[in-house]
């Protein structure tokens, strides 16, 4: 059974930065593309970022100039760099991979932006 394991969340002041990681628990699990979602209480998960197998990325307008995605294929890990964080970025962040018709979610990690 493959798991996606997230790390790196926490509390940060407005304007600060965090780096989230999402790693597959098995090295033979292919992360071709990965999507990132944010969820706040009472609302559905909204996708805001994606990285494809070739490293190309997509971001929602609200984060495109502040967030970046990168991947380390040797570690089977994707990194989400969050910069210039705002209070409205607060939420639980999830990574998602679809592999051979199966959908895998990370456990979710809390990011809180507050002074």
Q: What is the token pair recorded at 110?
A: 């809390």
- Residue 44, CB-side half-sphere exposure with 13 Å CA sphere: 3
pLDDT, tens only, 64-104: 999 999 999 889 999 999 999 999 999 999 999 999 999 99
Q: Concatenate the DSSP letters of all residues of 88-113 into one string.
A: GG-EEEEEEEEETTEEEEB--EEEEE
Per-residue pLDDT of 20-58, as tens digits, reads 999 999 988 888 899 999 999 999 999 999 999 999 999
Residue 112's pLDDT band (boundaries 50, 70, 90)? very high
């Amino acid at each position: 059974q493959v798991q996606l394991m997230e790390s790196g969340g926490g509390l940060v002041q407005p304007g600060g930065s965090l780096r989230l990681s999402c790693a597959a628990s098995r090295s033979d699990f292919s992360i071709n593309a990965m999507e990132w979602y944010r969820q706040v209480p009472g609302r559905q998960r909204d996708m805001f970022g994606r990285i494809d197998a070739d490293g190309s990325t997509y971001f929602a307008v609200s984060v495109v100039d502040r967030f970046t995605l990168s991947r380390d294929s040797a570690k089977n890990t994707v990194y989400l760099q969050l910069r210039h964080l705002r209070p409205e970025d607060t939420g639980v962040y999830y990574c998602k991979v679809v592999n051979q018709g199966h959908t895998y979610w990370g456990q979710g990690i809390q990011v809180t932006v507050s002074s």
